[in-house]
Amino acid sequence: MIAIAPALIQKLQNLPPQRLAEVEDFVEFLAVREMRTSAGTRLGESLTKLDALSLPPFSDEEINAEIQAVRQERTVQRT
């Protein structure tokens, strides 16, 4: 983790509470955006690897079977 500049900390300490809350919201927004960007990058990499496998697409029956299997598993987990 990088160190936060003392000048930035001083500026934050001088803000009124309402403005500090806005800064906190903005920092949270930036963190979420960074997580989404990272997730999007990983997803793109995964799709590239999957495409390289040249697997045949699932049939509608196979997709429905997968959906049913997941639903049954969730039902069992709830009980």
pLDDT tens-digit profile of 25-78? 999 999 999 999 999 999 999 999 999 999 999 999 999 999 999 999 999 999
Domain count, the chain: 1
Structural domain of 38: 6-78
Mean pLDDT confidence for 1-13: 88
pLDDT at 60: 97
Cα–Cα distance, 78 to 32 (Å, whole number): 30
* pTM listed for this prediction: 0.59
Q: Confidence class of residue 2 from pLDDT cuts 50, 70 and 90?
A: confident
pLDDT at 1: 59
In a domain, 1, yes or no: no
Give the DSSP letter of residue 20.
H
The separation between the first and the last C-alpha atoms of the chain, rounded to the nearest angstrom, is 43
Cα–Cα distance, 49 to 45 (Å, whole number): 6
Exposure b/e, 38-64, CB count within 10 A at least 16 = b: eeeeeeeeeeeeeeeeeeeeeeeeeee
In a domain, 43, yes or no: yes
